[in-house]
């Protein structure tokens, strides 16, 4: 079935997001990195030279819409296929339909597969020869990393194009366009909207155009029902429609920096309750969760370091978990990381040590590498005594070879950049380093 057969059916019962789908690339808002005037995708559509592609991006980023536009503008037969509900039997029917379209009308077939990451191996194998032959132009949409979910032979025959969440500017433009559009949008209702209401709808949507339009439709319905002479969507009305209070927050202003500072200092101060609260405040206000995840990774190195080496791994795991789950499920992983980081032993020894290194490099410039630890792959380098005198650590007791690794100008206690604390695992590290110093002082050249 060609989904475009019903495109001109102005069914008022269809959701606003469905009615407002762009019909051409020129109507499409956003994804400028993919749809610039000289982009590969735009040229392929203009020249009727489509290629099989996987659109990888978050929900509401326009993956389905782009697939429909590509088929429409190249006058291709369009088939939508469910990776969840269909099997190999349905694939055979798709192939027969595509074959008939080409044989009878010389019409190419675009097959759109939503959630292509749910395809099993048998389904992917069944499509492979028809994608390779060009009978079918396969367009897949996924929110998951395709390199983990799509078999290598199929992936090698498709291009992966990454879609980004819509920017606030893009979403505001989409919202205002839908409110003014008399043909497909809400223009006939005569509803106006306050800038603060637009901002709340846009930020609540978190880059999802479908969510923004659904919220706008609900808010417009409330404005019409209010029965006022002037139908106006105010911020309180938008809050009521979305069922979410607009917290005072500016991602680019003072409040943003106040809140992230409060989160960071609560973590450093080992207060899990306060840290959880500030995390919740920022997420509820619409902060980008991946920004928060990156800050947690940074905190793990800066304020915990080797006092608890597991902290960095857990913070990275939380970031990956959010990538995998998205909102709201992935936010729990961030909360778990916040509690762990807040309650872990603290040390800024790595952070401070690296700062000393940078200051020393700035002051001393490019000091030469000591000859014993230089690489000597050629006879010339060997003749210049590169690598001469190097002691292989595994030939010594405890796999420790007493020798100097720093440039000569930086040797001595004043250039001990990393100074571990006596907290957490760093206490063990400090004891080990002191043991090595004693070995070096006692007999720096004795082999076992």
Q: What would the 3-class secondary structure string for the chain be?
A: CCHHHHCCCCCCCCCHHHHCCCCCCCCCCCCHHHHCCCCHHHHHHHCCCCCCEEEECCCCCCHHHHHHHHHHHCCCEEEEEECCCCCHHHHHHHHHHHHHHHHHHCCCEEEEEECHHHCCHHHHHHHHHHHHHCCEEEEEEECCCHHHHCCHHHHCCCEEEECCCCCHHHHHHHHHHHHHCCCCCCHHHCEEECHHHHHHHHHHHCCCHHHHHHHHHHHHHHHHHCCCCCEEECHHHHHHHHCCCCCCCCCCCHHHHHHHHHHHHHHHCCCHHHHHHHHHHHHHCCCCHHHHHHHHHHHHHHHHHHHCCHHHHHHHHHHHHHHHHCCCCCHHHHHHHHHHHHHCCCCCHHHHHHHHHHHHHHHHCCCCCCHHHCCCCCHHHHHCCCCCCCCCHHHCHHHCCCCCCCCHHHCCHHHCCCCCCCCCHHHHHHHHHHHHHHHHHHCCCCCC
Domains in the chain, ordered, with CATH? 31-162 (3.40.50.300), 168-242 (1.10.8.60), 254-343 (1.20.272.10), 365-442 (1.10.3710)
Instruction: Encode pLDDT of 372-413 as tens digits.
Output: 888 888 888 888 888 888 888 898 888 888 888 888 888 877
Instruction: Encode pLDDT of 119-156 as tens digits.
Output: 777 778 878 888 888 888 889 888 877 877 788 888 88
Q: What is the pLDDT along the chain (448 residues), one digit of tens a residue?
A: 343 444 444 445 788 888 888 888 888 888 888 888 888 888 888 888 888 899 988 888 888 899 999 888 888 888 887 766 666 677 788 888 888 888 888 888 888 888 887 777 777 887 888 888 888 888 988 887 787 778 888 888 888 888 888 888 999 999 999 999 888 888 888 888 999 899 889 888 878 888 899 999 988 888 888 766 668 888 888 888 887 545 555 555 556 778 888 999 999 999 999 999 999 988 887 788 988 999 999 999 999 999 999 999 999 999 999 988 888 889 999 999 999 999 999 999 999 999 988 898 888 888 888 888 888 888 888 888 888 888 888 988 888 888 888 888 888 777 788 888 899 998 999 898 888 888 887 765 544 3
């Amino acid at each position: 079935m060609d989904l475009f057969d019903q495109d001109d059916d102005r069914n008022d019962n269809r959701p606003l997001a469905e009615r407002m789908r762009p019909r051409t690339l020129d109507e499409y808002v956003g994804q400028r990195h993919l749809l610039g005037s000289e982009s590969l995708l735009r040229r392929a559509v203009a020249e009727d030279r489509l290629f099989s592609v996987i659109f990888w991006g978050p929900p509401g980023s326009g993956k389905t819409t782009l697939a429909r536009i590509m088929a429409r503008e190249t006058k291709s037969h369009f088939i939508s296929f469910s990776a969840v509900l269909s099997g190999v039997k349905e694939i055979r029917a798709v192939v027969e339909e595509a074959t008939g379209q080409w044989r009878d009308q010389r019409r190419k077939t675009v097959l759109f597969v939503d959630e292509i990451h749910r395809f099993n191996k048998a389904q992917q194998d069944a499509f492979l020869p028809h994608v390779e032959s060009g009978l079918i132009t396969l367009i897949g949409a996924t929110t998951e990393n395709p390199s983990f979910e799509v078999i290598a032979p199929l992936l090698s025959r498709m291009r992966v194009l990454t879609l980004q969440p819509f920017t606030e500017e893009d979403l505001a433009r989409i919202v205002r366009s839908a409110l003014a559009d008399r043909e497909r949008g809400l223009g006939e209702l005569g509803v106006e909207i306050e800038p603060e209401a637009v901002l709340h709808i846009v930020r609540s949507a978190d880059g999802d155009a479908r969510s923004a339009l659904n919220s706008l439709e609900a808010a417009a319905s409330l404005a019409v029902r209010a029965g006022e002479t002037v139908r106006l969507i105010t911020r309180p009305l938008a809050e009521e429609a979305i069922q979410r209070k607009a917290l005072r927050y500016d991602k680019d202003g003072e409040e943003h920096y106040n809140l992230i500072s409060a989160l960071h200092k609560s973590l450093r101060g080992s207060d899990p309750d306060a840290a959880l609260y500030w995390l919740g405040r920022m997420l509820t206000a619409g902060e980008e969760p991946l920004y928060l995840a990156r800050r947690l990774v940074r905190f793990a190195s800066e304020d915990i370091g080797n006092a608890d080496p597991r902290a960095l791994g857990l913070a990275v795991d939380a970031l990956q978990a959010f990538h995998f789950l998205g909102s709201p499920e992935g936010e729990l992983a961030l909360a778990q990381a916040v509690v762990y980081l807040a309650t872990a032993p603290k040390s800024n020894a790595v952070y401070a040590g690296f700062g000393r290194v940078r200051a020393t490099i700035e002051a001393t410039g490019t000091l030469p590498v000591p000859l014993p630890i230089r690489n000597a792959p050629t006879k010339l380098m060997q003749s210049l005594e590169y690598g001469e005198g190097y002691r292989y650590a595994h030939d010594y007791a405890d796999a420790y070879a007493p020798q100097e690794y720093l440039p000569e100008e930086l040797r001595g206690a004043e250039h001990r950049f990393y100074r571990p604390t006596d907290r957490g695992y760093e206490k063990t590290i400090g004891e080990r380093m002191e043991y090595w110093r004693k070995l070096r002082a006692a007999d720096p050249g004795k082999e076992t």
